[in-house]
Structure 1
């Protein structure tokens, strides 16, 4: 069936109906052929009996006179019978056909020509077509005193009988097939209802979001559809067992994630104080101006730099933990146009070795969200471009409206991202070292933070990249 998939119900009904139709067709053909063979054999016996009567004692079957001339001792020709006398040259000497009302008529020249061109074997019935009102006949011939006597019976009764039987069988078979299809549809529909209920449960579960968050799966197959003694019952029971295992696994996963989130949040919070102290003491030592050896000077500088980097990492981890925990964000109007202008200006001030271009519309584009978080998203994308592209790279920040959403894009003409890295680019601690050269290090959390913030704003972020063009696209609802 073009354009549609066949359901199990449709397959069962059509398959069984086809088998029944085949059986009815074979039975009907066998019946018709058997009846036709029987009627032909009976008709052939009648033809041969008529031939014996026509050539028997007292029959006018010689070359003299009409075949209908009787002396009273032979039987009279029966209705629907035909008698033809042929001479030695296969020419018709006389002919006689008895109509339904007993009238005896002679054959026309065209009909007589049929017999003149037909070869007759002794006492072997053949079929000839005389056309017109007479139609087809079953005839047989026998040589008698230099002439050939041919007798025959009309095939009209045979044709009428087989035609009537064919019509009856076609009608009965058609009605039987219709009843079978209707009954099959009802029976199959009734017996497949348990399977439909099991499929409905599976569809409801398939429609649930199981990727993250606390997930409960209350759907279960009913007790009526979990009988282990039936095929559908075994499927339903197995599905219930599977759903129970899945629910337990999801609950365990959620519990582990919550523990990890609490640990990261608590650890990040606790680490901020000692890191601030280390950074403060390092800056204090460097700011005193006291004499230090080169090794001491280098050590304090590295302590200050690494403590600052670790503080940034701790802040990022704490932010991710809060976003994962579902901490609500502010819902205020945010002017994305102004935000893009500020972000590009900051990027240009931080690094003048790259060309920072801005493409925004004249009319402001606003969304509802947390301005500081959205500013952080754009800053992370621009910092990512600065970190992973060589000097002289052109970085373009564009803003427009597409498909009813605000579209913010950061595009650069750098070396691109390796296709093996793109699929996990927004994972935590993912790095693009295999794809892009860089001079500065990174925590590997910038893009994951951007992804988490955009998701919290009910938007999405995607990347497309090839050598010479890399674009990060952020879509936010207006």
Structure 2
């Protein structure tokens, strides 16, 4: 059983631009009109030349009849009737071809009732040449037609315009003139029209391309405006949407102008919507910053009084001691949450970081040591290059980035998981990777992983708890802080996750 091979699909054709379509349309219409005019001109010229040739053929037929003994109703002797005339006697084709004032290339056939004689005059030499039997047969088929007809004799003779007549003496004869001149003139006219049309098409194509390009400049300016707007990060931060279509391209009396005016109105609506969004975000950030700042003092008081009470030495009931411990631990967690919110608010405001050369090698060694102390049930591996790697950044914030990534690996994976921290240089950038062998991150959570208060409880966290990991609460701000700090350092953070392998990759500019 033969298996059919799948068909190879060709490359999709690239769409034609509006400029190309307009130019090709103009050139195509002009080519069609030129071809129509050329065909009509050649047909009319050929018909006119054919009519003129028919007139010449009629004159040649009259002279041929006179040479054979006369035609018509006029009385009197004809040159062929007079004794001593070179044409006196039996009529033949030579009598016609040798007659006076006969045009060059004349063809003749004479039938006297028993014998057929034929011949034609050679245009170049003037000699009388004989016809072939096949050519004679073709002419004999038209000997009874008195109206001019076209006969193709083939060979060197080609097409002839022939006409049959009967002389006064009752002799049938047929004369013909070549259509070579008519065909040559018509072909010459067709060539001239074709060359002139081709030159005209080239000139029109150049002019049309220039005119269309000039006419499409407003659309190009609109495209440039839309492209600049599309490159703006409209989904976040404060955006100044000042680009507009020039006023000269918004004339409502033209189609292009109406498009430009509509685009400007749309940009105005988008600008107002962005301003409203930015104002709302500023209010939210200001509220978070103010609330975080105000909460630091009461949280510190709660933590201090609970710790002071616990260490006062007074005998308290066990349930009271447990409650004080919970108050103290929750105040510590709330303090961390407030500090994280305050840090994000400051990063949102664009506060300058303390940018200095940072030894990432030493920073990772310290971070992995701290992670090992916090999670002794995990296997911590470190892969560093032979030479130290330095980046430009705020050391305290970069330490927080690495610490958050290591804490994320520890919290959301089971005890005994191997975590690999690596450092490398690639394309003039320092690349930090944190790889763990945990259960992975579901694909639907990857898009929102670095957003604030995003949690992976539905995947990694539950899997870790099922394996016996401590149920440490997560604020959902750790990775958001990582993304914000890395972005403030003009870097990039990405994640690649599948079951059994999750890698966070941080790219920072080298010093």
Q: TM-score, normalised by structure 1?
A: 0.88
1:385 to 404, 409, 414: 409
User: 1:346 maps to which residue?
Assistant: 370
User: 2:475 maps to which residue?
Assistant: 443
Does residue 1:28 correspond to 2:1, yes or no?
A: no
1:216-235 map, 5 Å: 216-235=240-259
Bigger Cα displacement from structure 2, 156-165 vs 238-247: 238-247
- Rounded to whole Å, the distance in 2 between the matches of 1:298 and 1:267 is 29
Does residue 1:452 correspond to 2:484, yes or no?
A: yes
1:140–1:379 Cα change, 3 Å = same
Does residue 1:66 correspond to 2:92, yes or no?
A: yes
- Rounded to whole Å, the distance in 2 between the matches of 1:29 and 1:112 is 37
1:404–1:87 Cα change, 3 Å = farther
Q: Deviations over 1:444-471 (max 9, x none)?
A: 0000001111111111100010011000
1:175-324 map, 5 Å: 175-324=199-348
Structure 2: which 5+ runs fail to align?
Answer: 1-11, 71-79, 81-86, 465-470
Does residue 1:168 correspond to 2:192, yes or no?
A: yes
CA RMSD of superposed structures (Å): 3.2
Does residue 1:115 correspond to 2:141, yes or no?
A: no
User: 1:412 maps to which residue?
Assistant: 436
Q: Is the 8 A contact 2:118 2:136 kept in 1?
A: no
- SS of match in other structure, 2:344: helix
Q: Deviations over 1:52-83 (max 9, x none)?
A: 6646771579994532337x9x9763333111
Does residue 1:83 correspond to 2:115, yes or no?
A: no
- Rounded to whole Å, the distance in 1 between the matches of 2:352 and 2:88 is 122
Q: Is the 8 A contact 1:413 1:470 kept in 2?
A: yes
- Rounded to whole Å, the distance in 2 between the matches of 1:160 and 1:98 is 18
- Rounded to whole Å, the distance in 2 between the matches of 1:205 and 1:130 is 74
1:95–1:474 Cα change, 3 Å = same
Cα offset, 1:386, TM superposition: 0.6
Cα offset, 1:269, TM superposition: 1.1
Bigger Cα displacement from structure 2, 25-34 vs 282-291: 282-291
- SS of match in other structure, 2:94: coil
- Rounded to whole Å, the distance in 2 between the matches of 1:86 and 1:358 is 118
Cα offset, 1:227, TM superposition: 2.0
Give aligned pairs, total: 472
Q: TM-score, normalised by structure 2?
A: 0.83
Cα offset, 1:281, TM superposition: 1.7
Cα offset, 1:263, TM superposition: 1.4
User: 2:161 maps to which residue?
Assistant: 138
Q: Deviations over 1:323-369 (max 9, x none)?
A: 11111111122111111111111111111211111111121111111
Structure 1: which 5+ runs fail to align?
Answer: none
1:15–1:62 Cα change, 3 Å = farther
1:465 to 497, 501, 505: 497
User: 1:336 maps to which residue?
Assistant: 360
Q: Deviations over 1:157-194 (max 9, x none)?
A: 20122022212322332343334334433433333333
- Rounded to whole Å, the distance in 2 between the matches of 1:244 and 1:130 is 80
- Rounded to whole Å, the distance in 2 between the matches of 1:212 and 1:188 is 39
Q: Deviations over 1:271-300 (max 9, x none)?
A: 011111111222222223433334323322
- Rounded to whole Å, the distance in 1 between the matches of 2:166 and 2:420 is 112
Bigger Cα displacement from structure 2, 263-272 vs 185-194: 185-194
Bigger Cα displacement from structure 2, 38-47 vs 147-156: 38-47
Cα offset, 1:148, TM superposition: 6.2
1:130–1:97 Cα change, 3 Å = farther
Bigger Cα displacement from structure 2, 50-59 vs 165-174: 50-59
